[in-house]
Copies of this chain bind each other. A is one copy, B any other.
Amino acid sequence: MREADGPVRVTAAADQAAVRGAHLGLVLRHLRDHGPRTRARLAAELGLSKATATSLVVELEQRGLVRRGAPARGSVGRPGATVELDGPRVCGIGAEINVDHVATSAVDLAGAVVVEDRRGLDSRRLGPDGVLDELTGMLRHVLDEVAAQDTIPAGITVGVAGLVDTTHDVITVAPNLGWRELPAAARLRDRLGVDAPTIRLDNEATLAAVAEADSADPERRDMLVIYGEVGVGGGIVSDGRPLRGRHGWAAEFGHILVDPQGRPCGCGRRGCWETVIGLHALLDAATDPDDRLRDPSLTLEERLEGIVSRAGLGDTRTLTALETVGTGIGAGAATLVNVLDPEVLVLSGYFAPLEPFLRESVEKRLDADVVAPRLGGTHVAFSTLGPVAAVRGGAAVSLAPVLTDPTLVPRRAGAETGGSR
């Protein structure tokens, strides 16, 4: 997640060290968001003296987080050496526990993917211990790969399809997994051992939203992500920061009420948004019970390819079903836009590949239902990240503390300390 540039905020714990750490973070984030540049340019853009900028760059070099890049072109006088991120020094690790798969990803400081994996499984049948065993094996592999490249893992963030207590790192209730009150972080820690990096849990759709927002694009500082699979989740980014709510349970979009007379929902209520726009609502409307697209052995990707293919051929039933889902997306999204006034509304998960058949009906209904003029200025985007959104967001969240305080990464052995100017 990109932090705000601008003046460093000083908090109650403020002392020289904290200010120093914040300044180091400011330089690191600036290099990540705006690319390599000279020390002189860094100083000018961040309002620092040249001496301070140089001192900060030297310390970041000692910590292995930046390195010298190519000389700047077009500069007046002698070309200045540029500074750029030294990506492989540190990485964040993301993981995901979902109904039909588990996944992992390690992404370094420069955004390069170190290692990434995804395995299909039946989480309900395997149960918590079986799933956590499988994920532990995958995480061991990630940690081995990362260690082999001499990269420091900053932490592990595990996205879960359910409500997560982010204070205690416990899965509170995950209806589609059938789990509740599961201390999944502690169980993973027991399996991985005391040497493993810090393990945190988060909601997978929140992490997918973080991945969408993890760019320097200022529009993405106020953003909603609606994440459709069998269930519907989402994430909120407000003023550049993920909005998790008081207990980490915000953005439970699937269960907002859209029709009191609507269909029963898996949660026991009636007329939840999920019953209108979840994957099963589309399949029920577009196919008969014996249709091959309902074959449980198909992957989500195969099912969607079938839908796209039929829609592309002009199949009326498929197109009508997609229009109904698109209108349903627009109706619920209008409520979210009225509540949150985002700049961008990102449709992710199974919605993304259906963009050509959903966009028009989504926008039409949004335009009718948002109370502010012209959709309140919100525009609709479809995710391009695909199924890796949640693990990439997890990796970004794991890496975030380093971008706030680079002193979390130790100096390299042999690096001089003190007095550097």
A interface vs B, CB < 8 Å?
A: 2, 4, 6-16, 18-20, 22-23, 26, 30, 45-49, 51-52, 55, 163, 172-173, 222, 236, 238-239, 241, 243-261, 267, 269, 331-332, 334-336, 338-343, 368-369, 371-373, 376-378, 418-419, 421
Question: Is the CB–CB distance between B52 and A12 below 8 Å?
Answer: yes
Question: Is the CB–CB distance between A339 and B339 below 8 Å?
Answer: yes
Partner of A258, one of B52, B163, B260: B260
Question: Is the CB–CB distance between A331 and B257 below 8 Å?
Answer: yes
Question: Is the CB–CB distance between B331 and A15 below 8 Å?
Answer: no
Question: Is the CB–CB distance between A244 and B14 below 8 Å?
Answer: no
Given contacts A12-B46, A246-B343, 19 further A-B contacts (CB under 8 A): A6-B418, A7-B18, A8-B18, A9-B22, A10-B22, A10-B49, A10-B55, A12-B30, A14-B19, A15-B47, A173-B373, A243-B340, A245-B341, A246-B377, A248-B341, A250-B340, A256-B338, A257-B258, A257-B331
Question: Is the CB–CB distance between A51 and B10 below 8 Å?
Answer: yes
Question: Is the CB–CB distance between B19 and A23 below 8 Å?
Answer: no
Partner of A252, one of B2, B4, B339: B339
CB distance from A366 to the nearest CB of B (A): 12
Bound-complex Cα distance A253 to B16 (A): 44
Q: How many copies does the complex hold?
A: 2
CB distance from A11 to the nearest CB of B (A): 6
Question: Is the CB–CB distance between B256 and A259 below 8 Å?
Answer: no
Is chain A's binding surface mostly helix, strand, loop or mixed? loop
Question: Is the CB–CB distance between B15 and A253 below 8 Å?
Answer: no
CB distance from A342 to the nearest CB of B (A): 6
22 contacts between A and B (CB under 8 A): A4-B16, A9-B52, A9-B55, A10-B19, A10-B52, A11-B26, A12-B26, A12-B30, A12-B45, A14-B19, A15-B47, A222-B245, A236-B339, A245-B341, A249-B341, A250-B341, A255-B369, A257-B332, A260-B331, A269-B369, A336-B339, A339-B339
Which residues of B are found within 8 Å of A378, using beta-carbon distances?
246
Which residues of B are found within 8 Å of A269, using beta-carbon distances?
368-369
Which residues of B are found within 8 Å of A373, using beta-carbon distances?
172-173
